[in-house]
Amino acid sequence: MTAKATNSTSWNEDVLQADGPVLVDFWAEWCGPCRMVSPILDQIQAENPEKITILKLNVDENPDLAMKYQITSIPAMKVFNKGEVQTTIIGAKPKFALEQDLATYLA
């Protein structure tokens, strides 16, 4: 299972009302570092299907959400839990560094 896409329409259901932690990757086509981090998130999702849900949000197609969450730098990854932002990670990082940042969710 790789990370799926989300958007403004399904945001409430996918993210805010979700049961467990949901990591949202704010990304765009033109962002080189986003393209590098994307397959890493797919791997983390595949390796931890029960522990965390990873979703991708295209900021070009969903500018309302990018603005609402004050995104000024991508890739930006936010972990939502019960509708609240719990963790924010900014910038592309190697897999081991992301796993460290997400340790509380992946444990």
Please list the active-site residues: 31, 34
Neighbours of 106 (CB within 10 A): 15
Could you tell me the end-to-end alpha-carbon distance of the chain, in angstroms, rounded to an integer? Answer: 19
Residues 6+ apart with CB under 8 A from 13: none
What six digits make up the tokens of 102? Answer: 């997400």
Under rule CB under 8 A, residue 84 binds other proteins = no
Q: Using CB under 8 A, count the residues that bind other proteins.
A: 25
Under rule CB under 8 A, residue 96 binds other proteins = yes
Under rule CB under 8 A, residue 78 binds other proteins = no
Q: Which residues of the chain form contacts with other proteins (CB under 8 A)?
A: 28, 30-34, 36-37, 40, 59, 66, 70-74, 76, 88, 90-96
